[in-house]
A = this chain, B = another copy of it.
Amino acid sequence: MKFICSKSSLSAALQIVSKAVPSKTTMSILECVMIDATEDFIRFIANDMEMGIQTDIAGNIIENGYVALDAKIFFEIIRKLPDADVTVEADINGIVTISCEKSRFNIPGRPGDDFTYLPEIQKIDGITLSQYTLKNLITRTIFSISENDPNKIMGGELFDIDGETLRVVALDGHRISIRKAALNSSYPARKVIVPGKTLNEVSRIISDSTEEEVSVFFTDKHILFSFAHTLVVSRLIEGEYFNVNQMLSNDYETKVTVNRKELVSSIDRATLLVKEGDKKPVIITIGDTALQLKINSTMGSMNEELDIEKKGKDIMIGFNPKFMIDALRVIEDETVDLYFVNPKAPCFIKDTADTYVYLVLPVNFTTVD
């Protein structure tokens, strides 16, 4: 195998596929990136057996062939080469020579016959949306999954397609995050649970562009993301997702409208008085025109007031500050609406169109003062 391509495209391709290289594994072939130049493009593939990524770049292929290379060392070498054309050549003994200007590396390659290519996924049953939309759906919900929970379902996100809507749901035992996006046409109903790790990596690879699209295809066992010469294939998590709808409710006793950034800053300041690992709640007291935020800990106390608009009853309720901040940080609106029922019931942060719904369970507290 021998080909010449630009350092920049090679480096970009390796950056993409390296997301599917496991950091720790007992199977050394998984630490490799497969370079396949058997056709008229150069294909890079990495596969940790849960998720696989493949991306193609153009180049001058002088001799067709393929070879597997340790992904980490190969990527680092390419990254540190001058910004010029790079020649990659595998000899019959499996030694791979990487040359660029006056620099020349020899590293051992592997025949790669034990490398597992991506499973073949039919591009039939799927949806198309902008990379921007998908990225936002993921990054604005993913913090709510519970990756190490014995219940594997909590380590994934529900992708719930229904007509012209894609709803993404993430939850752990204390909160639920839901984002909805409109699709460009109507699709048959489908629900799949996608591993959080896959979604994290996909959200890092895709762009912020509202112009560039990504197609998402499904089979019973797999999900395929297809965009810009790149495929990401992942296993789905098996099982039935939680019935989220029955946890949601439109009833409330108190509705509060508050400046989002001010509320985030205020809760953020309160967390200064919470030691790592301590479960001290922030106590919120809703009055007629003000939201009072209080925290008391061994380190000191804080007390702060925010202007609000209120409908309904006064209420005093405690929260884990992190959960409130996580949700408030990914909302773009200048003001947010908070809905409360009672101090034991979840608080909802949502907009009128239900584009987003964040449910946060309250924390019990004992009033000191």
Contacts and interface: CB of A to CB of B under 8 A. Distances in A.
Interface of A: 73, 76-77, 80-82, 102-108, 265-266, 268-269, 272-273, 299-306
Residue from A73, A300, A306 with most neighbouring chain B CB atoms (10 Å)? A300
A104 B270 CA distance: 10
A7 B209 CA distance: 38
A73 B105 contact: no
A77 B304 contact: no
A299 B98 CA distance: 14
17 contacts: A73-B272, A73-B300, A80-B265, A80-B272, A102-B305, A102-B306, A103-B302, A103-B303, A103-B304, A104-B303, A104-B304, A105-B273, A105-B300, A105-B303, A107-B299, A107-B301, A108-B300
A301 B105 contact: yes
Residue from A76, A104, A269 with most neighbouring chain B CB atoms (10 Å)? A269
A77 B272 contact: yes
A31 B81 CA distance: 46
Contacts of A107: 299-301
B300 A82 contact: no
Given A82-B265, A265-B82, A272 B106 contact: no
A272 B306 CA distance: 54
A103 B272 CA distance: 13
A316 to B, nearest CB: 18
Given A300-B106, A300-B108, A77 B269 contact: yes
Given A73-B272, A80-B272, A103 B300 contact: no
A106 B269 contact: no
A80 B304 CA distance: 13
Nearest to A293: B103
Contacts of A82: 265
Given A102-B306, A105-B269, 4 more contacts: A82-B265, A103-B302, A103-B303, A105-B302
A107 B77 CA distance: 52
A302 B104 contact: yes
A305 B99 CA distance: 12
Contacts of A302: 103-106
Contacts of A102: 304-306
Given A80-B272, A269-B77, A269-B80, A106 B301 contact: yes
A291 to B, nearest CB: 10
A169 B81 CA distance: 34
Contacts of A305: 102
Contacts of A273: 73, 105
Contacts of A304: 102-104
Nearest to A296: B106
Contacts of A80: 265, 268-269, 272
Nearest to A269: B80
A72 B77 CA distance: 41
A25 to B, nearest CB: 18
Contacts of A73: 272-273, 299-300
Given A103-B266, A265-B82, A76 B272 contact: yes
A103 B204 CA distance: 37
A82 B264 CA distance: 12
Nearest to A82: B265
Residue from A82, A102, A303 with most neighbouring chain B CB atoms (10 Å)? A102
